[in-house]
Amino acid sequence: MASGTVVVVGGTRGLGREVAQFYADRGRDVVVTGREQAGAEASAAEIGGSTRGVGLDLAEPHTIAERLADVGDVEYLVLAAIERDANTVRDYDIEAAMRLVTLKLVGYTAVVHALVQRFSEDAAILIFGGLARDRPYPGSTTVTTVNGAVTSLVRTLVIELAPTRVNALHPAIVGDSPQWRDMPPERFEALVQRTPTGRLVTMAEIVDASRFLLENQAINGINLAVDGGWLCM
Ligand SMILES: NC(=O)c1ccc[n+]([C@@H]2O[C@H](COP(=O)([O-])OP(=O)(O)OC[C@H]3O[C@@H](n4cnc5c(N)ncnc54)[C@H](OP(=O)(O)O)[C@@H]3O)[C@@H](O)[C@H]2O)c1
């Protein structure tokens, strides 16, 4: 039986929105967040059902608790928001790096802090990292760093928040996600060649893996790569 809201931080677009849509379609109370209140409300209306939009900027962590003040009991918290930062150590954009590190590490933790008193007995948290954690590319320095830190964040939250379960999902490039579906065909093909399953991961498969990590009550402290076997190559 459902026992609280599904909160998806970064639920206005992309993978977070797919997870939000799944639970909204099954009658759950859902909160989706994005940077702007109006944008979050518009996305919530498109998702439909009992979905509400909240605007909050994870890069402004001091404002987060107030923005989430009227969220009720929480069963599932999904932390999926990202602002991508192409940043190399040789040509280092410190402001961009600080923004992503703040957003993904301090901001995510501040959301948990703001909601922790409202977690239901069987609450679970799902954090989105990414395969750049294990497979860096030129320009991924900040993304790789924060995705690596997601692994550690999972482990400390498992200990601090027990019995609340905490897991992370690390997708490879999701071929039909809004971020990547319009990539040049030659890049798409090169990625397929490096994936043992012979195709890229899909958004439906990310939703399926998200459900497994959120709903299976034995699963705790897992950092799950969803990559079609990319890490074996
Ligand atoms: N897509 C992939 O193939 C892929 C691969 C590996 C890992 N991932 C990871 O999966 C997660 C989702 O990726 P995605 O591609 O679905 O993302 P996306 O389509 O770019 O959506 C990003 C979401 O984050 C929100 N957001 C951005 N900046 C924010 C901020 N400062 N404060 C609060 N919310 C903010 C956006 O809201 P608004 O735009 O409404 O403000 C939006 O809802 C990310 O953590 C990403 O690193 C994705």
Counting residues of the chain whose pLDDT is more than 70, the rounded percentage is 100
- Contact call for residues 167 and 224 (beta carbons, < 8 A): yes
- 121 phi and psi angles, rounded to 5 deg: -60, -35
Counting residues of the chain whose pLDDT is more than 90, the rounded percentage is 98
The tokens 């190399």 sit on which residue? Answer: 88
| Peptide bond between residue 163 and the one before it cis (omega within 30 degrees of 0) | yes
**pLDDT at 1 (0 to 100):** 62
Q: How far is the CA of 178 from the centre of ligand 1 (A)?
A: 10
Q: How far is the CA of 123 from the centre of ligand 1 (A)?
A: 23
pLDDT in tens, 98-113: 999 999 999 999 999 9
Top mutation candidate among 82, 146, 207 for ligand 1, by most atoms within 8 Å of CB: 82
For the chain, strand residue ranges (E) read: 5-9, 29-34, 50-55, 74-79, 119-128, 165-171, 223-226
**pLDDT at 2 (0 to 100):** 72
- Amino acid (1-letter code) at residue 177: S
User: What's the whole-number average pLDDT of the chain?
Assistant: 97
Q: How far is the CA of 145 from the centre of ligand 1 (A)?
A: 16
Which protein residues are within 6 Å of ligand 1, measured from CB?
Answer: 10-16, 34-36, 39, 56-59, 80-83, 103, 128, 130-131, 171, 173-174, 177-180
Residue 3 has pLDDT above 90, yes or no: no
pLDDT in tens, 193-218: 999 999 999 999 999 999 999 999 99
The average pLDDT across 141-167 equals: 98
**225: CB partners within 8 A, 6+ apart:** 131, 134, 170, 171, 172, 231
For 13-117, strand residue ranges (E) read: 29-34, 50-55, 74-79
Residue 96's Cβ-count burial label (10 Å; 0-12, 13-18, 19+) is middle
Residue 13 has pLDDT above 90, yes or no: yes
